Amino acid sequence: MQILDGKKAAQAIKDELKISVAQRANDGKKIPHLAAVLVGNNGASETYVAAKVKACEETGFKSTLIRLEADISENRLLETIEDLNTDPDVDGILVQLPLPKHISEKKVINAIDPGKDVDGFHPMSVGKLVEGLQTFIPATPYGIMLLLEQYKVETKGKHAIVIGRSNIVGRPMSILLSGNSNPGNCTVTLCHSHTANLKEICLQGDIIVAAIGIPEFVKADMVKEGAVVIDVGITRVADPTRKSGFKLKGDVDFDNVSPKCSWITPVPGGVGPMTIAALMKNTYLSCDTKN
């Protein structure tokens, strides 16, 4: 079993970006600028946004964090996004999800200028992704593709099982893995909460991507020998021995599954850091194509 080390791979991407940004600065060109909008104070969201802002600092990007109260009106949030859309200095806009219940995530995502949609959630970005056109690829599946690329994991002709069909992870992952690309060219089965015989399907998987949100959902008896297992799940599980009071658990029963795998991602230190590196790449691309 070998570890797909997302922390290391993400660092390599950030190091490359840092050099490119320094070069741009030397040439008197614009520096990439990511604007993050955080509504309310959900603990996990706070952590994710802080990590994205830190990654900007590490790579020399400019970042702006806009904090809004949990009870902000939908209209006020839409106005904030419009301000960012029209600000020529902003290259990428990310609105940290989930949003409070009284705000329509769909409306908010649709309000982002597709040219600054570095999360890749706008319908225009999704449509281009489906067509195989150049676009902003949602950061988590993009990060997974970059990780597979970095470790030269063979995907061509493999049967990939994606568990979870969310718009931010599972569905775009299935599209990317089935694309005529490298990594890609997989035969993909997309599973979800209504899939029958999930265990039997998973046992056919050369590659399994677990994006469910249920800790240790994927057990050893669901995984065939030699499979590549990508664990997207991040769930906070109470752990009184830690200062934070919790630890992070993936969707895969790592201890029992990993001995069967050819490659596996750990949690933490797998997909999470790659998601941030992919977001940085999207923001750099946005800046570079326009300036």
By CB under 6 A, tell whether 272 contacts ligand NAD. yes
Residues in the chain: 291
Residue in 5, 14, 52, 116 annotated catalytic: 52
Residue 4 lies near ligand NAD (rule: CB under 6 A): no
Stretch that binds ligand NAD, among 70-78, 174-182, 270-278, 283-291 (CB under 6 A): 270-278
Residues 216-245 that bind ligand NAD (CB under 6 A): 232-235
Q: Where are the alpha helices (DSSP H) in the chain?
A: 6-26, 43-59, 74-86, 105-111, 123-131, 139-150, 170-178, 198-202, 254-257, 271-290
150 is catalytic: no
Report in angstroms the alpha-carbon separations of 71 from 46, 103, 189, 234.
Answer: 17, 9, 40, 26
Minimum CB distance to ligand NAD, residue 86 (Å): 29
The active-site residue, picked from 5, 119, 231, 251, is 119
Which residues 6+ apart lie within 8 Å of 284 measured at CB? 17, 20, 21, 32, 61
Could you say which of 163, 207, 248, 279 contacts ligand NAD (CB under 6 A)? 163
With helix as H, strand as E and coil as C, how does 215-274 read?
CCCECHHHCCCCEEEEECCCEEEECCCCCCCEEEECCECHHHHHHHEEEECCCCCCHHHH
Residue 211 found at the interface with ligand NAD (CB under 6 A): yes
In the complex, the smallest distance separating the C-beta of residue 75 from ligand NAD, rounded to whole angstroms, is: 26
- Pick the closer one to ligand NAD by CB: 80 or 140: 140
Of 80 and 263, the one with the shorter C-beta distance to ligand NAD is 263
Enumerate binding residues for ligand NAD (CB under 6 A). 140, 163-166, 168-170, 191-193, 195, 198, 211-213, 232-235, 271-272, 275
Active site residues: 52, 96, 119
